[in-house]
Structure 1
Amino acid sequence: MSPLNTNDLKRIFEKLDRNGDGFVSLNEFKWFLQKIGVQTSLDEFESLLDKTSLDLLDFLFFYDTMVMQNINGDQSKGVEENKDLESDLAKAFKVYDLNGDGFISCEELQIVLSQLGLWNEHCGRDSKSMVKVYDTNSDGVLDFEEFKNMMLLTTS
C-alpha cells in the first residue's frame, strides 16, 4: 500500500515538471530533493534512477519502489522494535477511542486534537476529510489498522 495515492503523486509530478514537458528531469528532481534537505550529486541520482528523466509511469514506479524499500527496511529493524511500536500505537489508539468501541470517529478525533491544542475553529470542517483519507473500508471511522497506517505514514 502506497502512502500517497495516484492522484497525489500525479499532482506532485506536475509540480516537479517545472518546464511542463511531461518529464521530470534529474535537475528538476534534484531541485526538489535539495528543497527537502537531501543532498546528492546528479551522477549518484542518475545511477539510482538509471535514466536522465522520468515520465509519470516511471515516477510512480520509482515512488512505489522507494516505499517498498522503506517498508522492507523497517521490517529488518527487528521484531522487538516492531513490538514496541505496535504497543505504543495501541496505547495512542486508546487515547483517541474515547468511547472504547474499537473505532475512532471524526468527533473523537476532533475532541482529542482539541484537548492536545492541535485543533482550532477553522479546522473543524476537516475532521471528516482527515478520517476519510485513511478510512480504507469507507465505514466513516478508523479501526486500529487504519489508525496504524495513518500514524506510520504521516511520521515517515
Structure 2
Amino acid sequence: MSPINSINLSKIFSKLDKNGDGLVCLDELKGFLDTIGIIASQEELELLLGKTSLDSIDFFFFYDAITKANINKGSNYKHEDRENVFLENDLRKVFRVFDLNEDGFICCEELQRALSRLGLWDEQCGKDCKSMINVYDKNLDGKLDYEEFKDMMFDN
C-alpha cells in the first residue's frame, strides 16, 4: 500500500506545476520538499534526478523511489541509492512536519491538517486518516510514533 495514492500524487504534481507546462522544475520540486521538511539543494536534486525537470511519470517514479528507498548501511549503493541516504535523517524532519504539537506522535487531526496544507484533504480522506493510522498503529494507541510512521512511509 502506498501512503499517497496516484490521484493525490496527480493533485500534488498539478499544484507544483505552477506555470502549467506539464513539468515540475527543480525549483518547484525543491520548494515542495522544503515545505515538507526535506532540505536538499538544487544541485543535489539535479545530481539525484539527472535532469532539470520532471514530467508526471518521472514525478511518480521519484515519489516511488523516495518512499521505497532501502537505507541499509551495509549494502553497496547504486549512485541513486547513495543520494537517497539523506532520507533517513530527513524522514525525521518530515515526521515533525506532521507532528504539529511536537508530542512525538501523529494523531488523526494532525494528519488531516498536514494533508490539507498539501492540498490533499477532502471528506473521504478524513475517514481514511483513521484507517491509515490504524493500519500502521502497532501498539493500538490511535496515533503513530516515529517508527510506525517510518513503516508507513516505506511500506511496499
Question: Normalising by structure 2, what TM-score?
Answer: 0.50
Q: Which has the larger radius of gyration?
A: 1
Would you tell me which structure has more helix in proportion to its own residues? Answer: 1
Which structure carries more relative contact order (alpha carbon 8 Å, separation 6+)?
Answer: 2
